[in-house]
Chains A and B, each alone.
Chain A
Amino acid sequence: MLVTMTVNGTEVARDIEPRVLLVHFLREELGMTGTHWGCDTSNCGACVVQLDGTPVKSCTVLAAMADGHSVKTVEGLAEGGTLDPIQQGFMEEHGLQCGFCTPGMMLTTNALLKENPNPTETDIREAISGQICRCTGYATIVRAVQWAAEHPAGGDAAAAEAGTEASVAEPEKEVAGA
């Protein structure tokens, strides 16, 4: 069957079997391996993408069910070379260890911040409660989301960017000085 959907703003069409799951459609048909395929049983949340802006576990959605809809994956979070605040937050607060759960975590919390720009720690933990970080890194993930909430895109994003440049530039200076 022919399936057409918008993935990260670009319309794609593929002729697939009805049984192809959205996670496999993204990874195998489109080659977008940023969406991770984990437990396969709707538990771990590594495969979370946004379907029409809502986080879903893409191992439990048929690609056919996304026909005519829009999908956002981790590849679509950054806009024109500028990281989404949530991506920046995961960098700043080291919201990952192995990084396997990270794309799903970022898409869930990106949606959370759109609905609730100032979430409490409880709100954040509730939002990611269906996602597993096997590195036990939840504390830094929570801090990453808090960082993103404090640095919204278009708000003081420029300041955040400047801050990043400074933190990158500083060691270079030291090296240069040494």
Chain B
Amino acid sequence: MQIPAPFDYAKATSLDDAVALLSRYGEDAHVIAGGHSLLPMMKLRLARPDWLIDINDLHELDFIRREGDVLVVGALTRHHTLLESEEVQALFPIIGDAERVVADPIVRNRGTLGGSLCQADPAEDLSTVCTVLGAEAVVHGASGDRVLSMDQFHVGPYETAVAFDEVLTEVRIPIRPRSSSAYEKVERRVGDWAVAAAGASVTFADDGTLADVAIGTTAVGLETRASAAEAVLRGKVPTEELIAEAGRLTGEAVDPMADQRGSVEYKRHLANELTQRTLRKAIARAQGQEA
């Protein structure tokens, strides 16, 4: 029987209460939302907080709303809610692509967007999604809000810029005309972590060239975007040759580790192939075709 080591527990009644509790109990306190990443780690003693601050009652962090040309998603939004939102699917099909492969439907009932991002697992899908969408993370502490780009937010594997006495409150995703996005993942079975995954977001200019391209990968050791691959496509009319070149450069840029999920060569191949597929799909979607 796996049970976590002993800890103390408090239910936060408001965002300020959560911040106050985190400040009071210090670095050994940990926020718990869905708990579907944290509790398994606590059972294995990979995480051993002295205090858990439960934010599940902070319903003000569970929302999806449009503010002009920004879609704002509360950190406590469950994966299931994101997957069910027609507005989200229409604006950012990459979110649906990724959410469909986040664990399994029952885990998605509990797990949250903010929890996934704060866990910062290298094999976690939504960090890649938010990165290629150019999202910003809003972090709340005693002195107010900080707005961070995903690069600033994501410090490294299992590490974010959220301080011990701060809470991620929302993710702000810019809505761009003539743009679309896609995500593709290879996993061994339903609910498993990615062997490899890739996400792409494209924005067309009026003349049919690509005004902007963002390519990101999951679980293959590339923390930043695949900038060399993006440069191949930016400012060009996309062709099969350019997409193939972007895939090849992404396969070169990644730095995967061999493990039970596959060899380095296999993962580089996946990064290449999945990048091409997501680019094709994102481009087709932006052009009004369903890939």
Q: Nearest chain-A residue to B109 (Cβ)?
A: A54
Are B2 and A40 closer than 8 Å at their CB atoms? yes
Q: Of residues 119 to 167 in A, which have CB atoms within 8 Å of B's CB atoms?
A: 126-127, 129-131
Per-residue A-contact encoding for B32-50, CB less than 8 Å = 1, 0 else:
1001100110010000000
Are A19 and B109 closer than 8 Å at their CB atoms? no
Contact of B104 among A1, A18, A21, A129 (CB under 8 A): A129
| Complex: A37 Cα to B43 Cα, angstroms | 15
Would you call B52 an interface residue if the criterion is a C-beta within 8 Å of the partner chain's C-beta atoms? yes
Tell me the minimal C-beta distance from A66 to chain B in angstroms: 10
Tell me the minimal C-beta distance from B73 to chain A in angstroms: 20
Per-residue B-contact encoding for A1-41, CB less than 8 Å = 1, 0 else:
10000000000000001111100100000000000010011
Would you call A86 an interface residue if the criterion is a C-beta within 8 Å of the partner chain's C-beta atoms? no
Are A41 and B9 closer than 8 Å at their CB atoms? no
- Using Cβ atoms and an 8 Å threshold, which residues of chain B touch A129? 104-105, 190-191
- Using Cβ atoms and an 8 Å threshold, which residues of chain A touch B9? 1, 18, 62, 64
**Segment at the B interface, from A42-50, A74-82, A89-97, A169-177:** A42-50
Contact of B191 among A17, A67, A130 (CB under 8 A): A130
* Chain A interface residue number, banded: 20 to 34
With known contacts A60-B40, A129-B104, A130-B105, A19–B7 Cβ distance under 8 A: yes
Are B104 and A40 closer than 8 Å at their CB atoms? no
* Chain B interface residue number, banded: 20 to 34
- Using Cβ atoms and an 8 Å threshold, which residues of chain B touch A61? 35, 39, 110
Q: Of residues 1 to 28 in B, which have CB atoms within 8 Å of A's CB atoms?
A: 1-9, 11
| Complex: A112 Cα to B5 Cα, angstroms | 35
| Complex: A55 Cα to B108 Cα, angstroms | 10
| Complex: A65 Cα to B112 Cα, angstroms | 15
Q: Nearest chain-B residue to A28 (Cβ)?
A: B1
| Complex: A1 Cα to B51 Cα, angstroms | 14
Are A56 and B110 closer than 8 Å at their CB atoms? yes
- Using Cβ atoms and an 8 Å threshold, which residues of chain B touch A126? 105
Contact of A60 among B36, B54, B56 (CB under 8 A): B36
Would you call A72 an interface residue if the criterion is a C-beta within 8 Å of the partner chain's C-beta atoms? no
Would you call B210 an interface residue if the criterion is a C-beta within 8 Å of the partner chain's C-beta atoms? no
With known contacts A65-B56, A130-B104, A60–B109 Cβ distance under 8 A: no
| Complex: A20 Cα to B5 Cα, angstroms | 10
Are B8 and A18 closer than 8 Å at their CB atoms? yes
Would you call B186 an interface residue if the criterion is a C-beta within 8 Å of the partner chain's C-beta atoms? no
| Complex: A20 Cα to B8 Cα, angstroms | 12
Q: Nearest chain-B residue to A20 (Cβ)?
A: B3
- Using Cβ atoms and an 8 Å threshold, which residues of chain B touch A37? 1
With known contacts A18-B52, A126-B105, A130-B104, A24–B110 Cβ distance under 8 A: no
- Using Cβ atoms and an 8 Å threshold, which residues of chain B touch A42? 36, 40, 103, 107
**Closest 8 pairs between A and B when the two form their complex, measured CB to CB:** A130-B104, A18-B9, A130-B106, A129-B190, A40-B2, A19-B4, A54-B109, A55-B106
